[in-house]
Structure 1
Amino acid sequence: MTERLNSAQPYALGLFRIVVGLVFALHGAASIFGILGGAAGTNGGTLDSGTWPGWYAAVIQVVAGTLVTLGLGTRAAAFLASGSMAYAYFKVHAPIGLGPSENGGEPAALFSWAFLLLVFTGSGAFGLDRLFARRAATRSRPAAEKTPVAA
């Protein structure tokens, strides 16, 4: 049983990356474009362009979330996303109260830790990072290794 679970790990990680990245990107898109209920506290509206820190956070959410979803530059995008959510937790939520359930910071805390995990694990399966790395490895092999030798 453990061997089966271990062999499925890259696929589970890839699906985790896709879901977390997509939810993050959609959260930012809601704030910028007013879709899916719009920005929190705006009755379905959008954040004013350039307002600190919400609008910038939403841009980071859309860009980093999309990159993580695609598995493109996963570690760097996840690092940026994790940091932005840590900032949101400590600057916006923590002053309200100590615990995440008390201060409304549960999503920020969970996103921060989920993205930090992706910084260390990488994209897993289904990521463009893996595809590009595989292509680069194939191109860098000497010609003798690329052509099969008849025995």
Structure 2
Amino acid sequence: MIDLRNWSPRLLSVLRIVSALLFFAHGTQKLFGFPASDMHPAMFTLSWFAGVLEVGGGALLLIGLFTRPVAFLLSGQMAIGYWLAHAPQSPFPAINGGDAAILFCFIFLYIAAAGPGPWSVDAAKGAR
């Protein structure tokens, strides 16, 4: 039997990287219309600032730089986003479209507590 405990730190890095890529894509949709989207928020609106956090924070999480504070900030963004944009539509996440916001919130909260994993700029800086 394979001992998967040895893979735990690496899979933390994989979780961070995949989550960051998905999150980054939400920001590029808002700010640049890619992938194709009908959402084009005006500059300095709440949605625009969300897009800036998604692109900037997603990029930092992707490479694993300032991982803990960035993940904590983005977790809060997703909690606020859920309660402002999704919860008023319905109390059920499957209906209000807030499933991803909830998952991002708790994944980022976990990453803020657990750290970036070994495949990160933060880990490389710490090794020096």
Q: Name the TM-score, length of structure 2 as normaliser.
A: 0.95
Q: Name the TM-score, length of structure 1 as normaliser.
A: 0.81
- Structure 1 residue runs of 4+, over 3 Å off? none
The alignment partner of 1:16 has SS state of: helix
1:24 Cα shift? 0.4
> Does 2:26 match 1:27?
yes
Instruction: Give structure 1 stretches of 5+ with no counterpart.
Output: 136-151
Q: Distance in 1 between matches of 2:44 and 2:63?
A: 26
The percentage of counterpart residues that share the same residue type is: 38
Instruction: Give structure 2 stretches of 5+ with no counterpart.
Output: none
What are the residue-to-residue correspondences of 1:2-151 with 2, within 5 Å?
Answer: 4-38=3-37, 42=38, 46-51=40-45, 53-135=46-128
1:46 Cα shift? 2.4
- Cα deviation digits, residues 47-92 of structure 1 (max 9, x gap): 22112x1111110111111111100011111011100000011111
Could you say what the CA RMSD is over the residues aligned between the two structures, in angstroms? 1.2
Report the residue type matching 1:32 in the other structure. L
The structure whose RCO (Cα within 8 Å, separation 6+) is larger is 2
Report the residue type matching 2:50 in the other structure. A
Report the residue type matching 1:9 in the other structure. S
Choose 1 or 2 for highest CA Rg: 1
- Cα deviation digits, residues 84-132 of structure 1 (max 9, x gap): 0000111111111111112111111111111011011100121000000
Report the residue type matching 1:112 in the other structure. C
